[in-house]
Structure 1
Amino acid sequence: MKRAEIPGLSIAIINDNELAYHEALGLSNAETREPVDSRSIFEGASLSKPVFAYFALKMVEDGTLELDKPLYEYLPHPGIAPESREEYKSVTARMVLSHQTGFPNHAKGQAINLAFKPGTDFLYSGEAYQYLAAVIGVQKGVGTGDALNALLKKEVAEPLLMEHTSFVWDDYLAAHKVYGHDEDGKPTQNRPGPGGWNGKTFNAFSSLHSEASEYAKFIIAMLNREGLSDATFEDMLKEHTHFKDDNPLKQEIGQTGWGLGFAQKRTPEWTMHLHTGNNHDFQSYAMFIPEKRYGLVVFTNSGKMVPFLENLSKILGPQF
């Protein structure tokens, strides 16, 4: 942490499919010197996506939606550019979870122009995840706020004993969320505010709040295949998107493709399922290797997680 200049950290290591190590270390606020503790909550950023994918697959299993039925048939998207309105009608939940929709990562209020015919290429998209959340919200009659969060808690967080994990703001988060920190190590924020997430919207792609020991329960469920049928787990963890050689993620990180929710690094001996989260002043990471019965979860309150993972890899072996 000192080498990487990380103020605060929540870390969990899973070995033999069980929690083997958990620590909450450092500072919640580098100026006030308030410490991180076992109750401290961090922003998960895009670690939201694997949890939401697991939730969406539960919705498939209970008949709320079909993986390969066009989402347009459930809920037409109101923000598609005219030139993409026919092609987008083929977008399915499977394409959303494996990032094959052609949607941009974030539309930022602009009309959505598809980058390619859905199902033919890869483009990471939080925007598509939010579309799927809206579909589930409509199908369940709960919208995309507190009621959708309550449904996810009922279906995912409560069965996995993730008591304080939430996609919307609540009193526990208000009492225990740590501060983010900018590149200079200065505290930024620890609650919803103007110009950012309002705390009320369920952002399937980014608004999860948690800490390492709770998120590790989700990773252990992946390793033990809990909460979904074997057939659904096979579908979730197989490769749906195979990266081309010129894919930046393959060139820079070594990722080889994507399943339904997790990125993947495949070798002849094992597959690492992984996901990063980056809200700039908060960064997070989770991975697991079923063949090794091993996993790692890291939450930080700064934008300097990658150097930390690189240092950790020198001690524990490749983690990223």
Structure 2
Amino acid sequence: MILSKRTVKLWILIFYLISLPMSFGQKSSKTIRVPDGRVINIAILNEHIKKAMDSINLPGLSIAIINDDAIVYHNTFGFANLKTKKPVTKRTIFEGASLSKPLFAYFLMKMVEKGVLDLDEPIYSYLEPIFPEGVIHKDSFEDYKILTPRIILSHGSGIPNWVKGKPIEIKFKPGTDFSYSGEAYQHLGAAFGTKLGIGWGSKLDSLFLKEAAHPIGMDRSTYTWNDINNEDVANGHMKGKTNPEINKYKKVGPGFSLHSDAEDYALFLIEMMNPKNIKLTTRNQMLREHNHFKSDNKLLKETGQTGWGLGFAQKPTPNGLMHLHTGNNRDFQAYAMFIPDQKYGFVIFANSDNLFPLLETIEKLLGEHF
């Protein structure tokens, strides 16, 4: 059968229209650019990660890399549940652990922009009507009363990381030194929810989704449990053993309770490098150093980090200033970093207690990231 030119053109058009959605839905990049300027083949990266995971028996992983304000690499590896051999997929949700903190800081900075929160108003003014006795050691109460969101977000509160039910003793005058504190972030979240009259449960989480997550495309990240994740959530692992329990948080834990994955969290890193939902001046305030480490600081000596902004730690590198944060809920670990000068970002989630040895191995291929 001989087809007319018109029929041939029609079939070409139909084929084009059918294939168009498929081509747009796929990531066509076969390489990524790393901060030192090298170009890495994705197939080589995948093989490197697989071998590294096998060598340390890391169960599961979700990883994403950003070049020029776009996610150019997102992949998953291994098992969401090592016992049942349930695989990690691109729908699998992990605990974000302390990656909760910079994202919550971003949410609060959006509230500062809207005039709902004052960075320099003491949080005790919000909590005073409901503040229980015995939470703060009597010798630290006056120091607690001067804590502000700015001081807490930059870890200058003097509160221990976690007090585990003991009265809080503040180690130094707030704002004069550095002391990493998840406990302080919890107080800040409770204070903000109380100020708004909505508490720190699902209503606060819903406000986070409305004002911070959804406007930048994050649709798989929550601080309180959503049953929609039941089929997709990963189990944690300690020393290779599967934890059968899933943490289904009913309260917003700004310091630890985020559930997310690498692709969704990468959208937040893109927002940090190219803000759309907050003003550039707000972003700049987040990334400015608010707490400079003293010369005897342990992090300075061990990692080269020099201080903290409002949410992220900071580390000078030959390729530009790196903003970073680790996460460790013991059976879940995570890490995120970005270098605005390079328009580069990296985020990784693992459902185990041995992510950080893997990061060291990844650095052998990608260069300094940690």
Give 1:261's match in structure 2, choosing from 307, 311, 314.
311
Residues 113-166 of structure 1, C-alpha deviation per residue, up to 9 Å, x if partnerless? 111000000001111111111121012221011111111111111112211211
* Equivalent position of 2:342 in the other structure: 292
Contact 2:319 2:342 in 1 (8 A): no
Note the 1:101-120 alignment, pairs <5 A: 101-120=157-176
Q: Is 1:99 aligned to residue 155 of structure 2? A: yes
Which structure is larger by alpha-carbon Rg, 1 or 2? 2
CA root-mean-square deviation? 1.3
What amino acid sits opposite 1:230 in the alignment?
L
Per the normalisation by structure 1, the TM-score is 0.95
Between Structure 1 and Structure 2, the one with more helix by share is: 2
Matches of 1:14 and 1:70, distance apart in 2: 37
Matches of 1:158 and 1:190, distance apart in 2: 28
* Equivalent position of 1:282 in the other structure: 332
Matches of 2:292 and 2:318, distance apart in 1: 15
Per the normalisation by structure 2, the TM-score is 0.82
Structure 2 portions without partners, runs of 5+: 1-52
Q: Is 1:121 aligned to residue 177 of structure 2? A: yes
- What secondary structure does 1:271 align onto? strand
Residues 268-314 of structure 1, C-alpha deviation per residue, up to 9 Å, x if partnerless? 75110000000111100000000010000100011111111111111
* Equivalent position of 1:312 in the other structure: 362
Matches of 2:236 and 2:307, distance apart in 1: 31
* More displaced stretch, 26-35 vs 255-264: 26-35
Q: CA deviation at 1:17?
A: 1.8
Matches of 2:113 and 2:215, distance apart in 1: 16
Give 1:172's match in structure 2, choosing from 207, 228, 234.
228
What amino acid sits opposite 1:188 in the alignment?
N
- What secondary structure does 1:85 align onto? helix
Q: Following TM superposition, where does structure 1 have runs of at least 4 consecutive aligned residues deviating by more than 6 angstroms? A: none
Contact 1:289 1:295 in 2 (8 A): yes
* Equivalent position of 1:201 in the other structure: 251
Matches of 1:219 and 1:138, distance apart in 2: 29
Matches of 1:267 and 1:309, distance apart in 2: 17
Give 1:143's match in structure 2, choosing from 181, 199, 204.
199
Q: Is 1:302 aligned to residue 357 of structure 2? A: no
Q: Is 1:19 aligned to residue 74 of structure 2? A: no
Give 1:189's match in structure 2, choosing from 231, 241, 244.
244
Contact 2:94 2:233 in 1 (8 A): yes
Contact 1:281 1:302 in 2 (8 A): yes
Higher relative contact order (CA 8 A, sep 6+): 1
- What secondary structure does 2:363 align onto? helix
Give 2:276's match in structure 1, choosing from 215, 221, 226.
226
Structure 1 portions without partners, runs of 5+: 193-197
- What secondary structure does 2:200 align onto? coil
Residues 224-246 of structure 1, C-alpha deviation per residue, up to 9 Å, x if partnerless? 02221122111110111111232
Note the 1:67-86 alignment, pairs <5 A: 67-76=119-128, 77-78=131-132, 79-86=135-142
* Equivalent position of 1:65 in the other structure: 117
Contact 1:64 1:139 in 2 (8 A): no
Matches of 1:108 and 1:144, distance apart in 2: 19
Matches of 1:155 and 1:288, distance apart in 2: 23
Note the 1:24-35 alignment, pairs <5 A: 24-35=76-87
- What secondary structure does 2:241 align onto? coil
Contact 1:177 1:190 in 2 (8 A): no
Contact 1:241 1:257 in 2 (8 A): yes
Q: Is 1:243 aligned to residue 298 of structure 2? A: no
- What secondary structure does 2:96 align onto? strand
What is the number of equivalent residue pairs in this alignment? Answer: 314
Structure 1 residues 222 and 301: alpha-carbon distance in aligned structure 2, compared to 1, 3 A threshold: same
What amino acid sits opposite 1:27 in the alignment?
F
- What secondary structure does 1:303 align onto? coil
Contact 1:178 1:190 in 2 (8 A): no
Contact 1:149 1:166 in 2 (8 A): yes
* Equivalent position of 2:145 in the other structure: 89
- What secondary structure does 2:205 align onto? helix
* Equivalent position of 2:45 in the other structure: none
Matches of 1:290 and 1:281, distance apart in 2: 31
Structure 1 residues 261 and 200: alpha-carbon distance in aligned structure 2, compared to 1, 3 A threshold: same
